[in-house]
Amino acid sequence: MVEHAVADPRPLAAVLVSAVTVALIIASYRHPNVREGWSVLAAISKFAIVASMLPGVMDGTVYEWRLSEATGYTFVSGIDFTLRADPLGLFFALLASFLWIFTSFYAAGYMRGLDEHAQTRFFAAFAASLSTAVGIAFAGNLVTIFVFYELLSLVTYPLVAHNEDDEARIAGRKYLFYTFFGGGVLLLAGTVLVYWLTSGVGEPTLAFESGGMSALADAAAADPAMAQAAFYLLIAGFGVKAAVMPLHSWLADAMVAPTPVSGLLHAVAVVKSGAFGVARVILEVYGPETIRDLPLSVPGVGEVGLNIPVAIMAAFTLTAASIIAMRKDHLKRRLAYSTTAQLSYIVLGLSLLHPWTIFGALFHIPAHAFGKLTLFFCAGAIHVETHTDYISEMAGIGKRMPLTLSAFTIGAAGMAGMPLVAGFVSKFYMLIGSVRLEGSEWIYLDGWGWLFAATLLLSGVLNIAYFWPIVYTAFFEREDRHDAKPLVEFPMGGQFRSYTGRVADPVQPDGGRNEVDADAGSLEGETDTDTETVGHANHAVDANPSDADVPFGAGTRRGPRGEPVPLDSDHHDGHHGGPPADGWARHTPLTESTWLMLVPITVIATGAVVLGVVPDYAIFLELAGTIVENVTGEVVLG
């Protein structure tokens, strides 16, 4: 498709609408309904502006706004501050703006349900985050995307550190260190290097071009070593936010943020901005052909494509993160490591360079967004309604929250790549593309394609391994008779434990003593039947914890400094996680929570199914096909 650019203020308007809303939210701090109304209005307005550009972009029009044309000033010598709505940018902006609509309602229900503090600051930072995320989507060159990339880290810091306790502050500082200082420095270094390389062959340029910058391709031919260095600096800079190992550990710690933050910002805006940046570098800075023409010479191996080390790191990340997720009892931390794995699907598909793997990787961006947002929404609803955060305390919770756990099952199926849910479509294309790599121009060594295909299949099995126990525990186990933690640290078959009685099988999962923390007392010969004490002490997680912050000791949980905290210290009803003494109360889907939370959960879960059952009717599939055609010249959709 031949693209032609036209001047248009709508890319700027899409960025500014939520930025202006920040001031309106702050001004309405005395009126919660008005304050949250501004959030919803801004979300709808942003989506409308972005969607209005869709017909033109599908016909080959690129909408641009340039600072120099509007004000007469140049942002950086030779480089303009440019906002550009092209197919790839619109793909990301359309997704983020659409999901923000429902997240605005969900966030209101969540924050009110927990009577959270500093709600005005929360909604203001939330709006600012969406403004910078759309700025990243519509950035027209590396300098513009760098500015918004760094701003995103700054405006999301108050959200990560929202709780204002020691744990939140530590997580916030770690988040800034990784994403603002670490990722930002690497990205800036790569940007400067690209500027220097292109200046050697003519006018310096940092503007994105479908298929790669032609000036950079010429510069790479003249100085391949520097071009290779710039490539890896850019990939590493964006890879921090994409949570590619070993740059991933900030993501799990950032789960201390309120669940709406974990949902939209960590399943869409923040982490997806990293994956989106990788897509810009591979598809529109270097381009598949330039990457293919810059092979690395590896002693004892021979020439290896510049993309292969990136693909290997992504394959390692999606496998290792899936294994780590299996050991996490805290639900949000398990979802965090799942996100680390799922993002690497995107990076892997892009780095393999085959048109079909690129197509699958691009479609996995919305597939993962709908599925993972569903999962985080469900985790937040469970927390608000039952104060339960640990999987080992969720036996039978399906009868308390049937709609929420049903939606969770849909999201989990999508993440595992099961048919009829969005994740299946994207992973299918990546798998077929990986097999087709053998003997193609996109790979240097035989066998790599089959290796990556096997990795994708293995990861799918691991996804089932860490999601199925949650679904099974919720729907098929009882409070008084359940396997407390069916994870990898259990012996084959697990062991019977319950919330309401003592340990029926004295064998410990680690083969150690049948006792808990000295402060909690021994389980040996315990006759007390108090469910709030013995029930929690009987959990396998207390004897052999795999999480950094799992509860420990009878009737306790871990405080911000790691100290034991009584379970009734935070809630007036004296209950903190797990079923009440008489078990879960049975609820209908209409009574399990508020409509502010149930409607977004239902809509987003339905979206995940629609993307899987009728993907041809989802605009994201057509946009992904247009992007691939523009970059590679190959038509992947007939």
Share of the chain above pLDDT 90, in %: 40
What is the overall mean pLDDT for the chain?
81
pLDDT-wise least confident of 17-21, 207-211, 554-558, 613-617: 554-558
Asked if pLDDT for residue 140 goes beyond 80, the answer is yes
Q: In this predicted structure, what is the pLDDT of residue 299?
A: 78
332-386 pLDDT per residue, tens: 899 989 998 999 999 999 999 889 999 999 999 999 999 999 999 999 999 999 9
User: Residues near 106 by Cβ (< 8 Å), separated by ≥ 6?
Assistant: 260, 263, 377, 380, 596, 597, 600, 601
- Find out whether 427 and 456 touch, Cβ atoms under 8 Å: yes
Q: In this predicted structure, what is the pLDDT of residue 444?
A: 58
Q: In this predicted structure, what is the pLDDT of residue 401?
A: 92
Average pLDDT over every residue of 75-91: 88
Share of the chain above pLDDT 70, in %: 83
Other Cβ atoms less than 10 A from the Cβ of 280: the count is 22
- Find out whether 283 and 354 touch, Cβ atoms under 8 Å: no
In terms of Cβ atoms closer than 10 Å to its own Cβ (0-12, 13-18, 19+), residue 82 is: buried
d(CA 152, CA 265): 10
Which of 303, 152, 322, 338 shows the shortest CA–CA distance to 237? 152
* pTM for this predicted structure: 0.85
203-238 pLDDT per residue, tens: 888 889 988 898 998 898 888 999 999 999 999 999
Other Cβ atoms less than 10 A from the Cβ of 115: the count is 7
d(CA 527, CA 458): 45
Q: In this predicted structure, what is the pLDDT of residue 259?
A: 83
**pLDDT band for position 405 (50/70/90)?**
very high
d(CA 42, CA 149): 21
Other Cβ atoms less than 10 A from the Cβ of 559: the count is 15
558-609 pLDDT per residue, tens: 443 344 444 444 433 334 678 888 888 888 888 888 898 999 999 999 999 9
Q: Which of 165-174, 370-379, 499-508 has the highest mean pLDDT?
A: 370-379
Average pLDDT over every residue of 441-445: 59
Other Cβ atoms less than 10 A from the Cβ of 211: the count is 17
The more confidently predicted of residues 582 and 195 is 195
- Amino acid present at 637: L
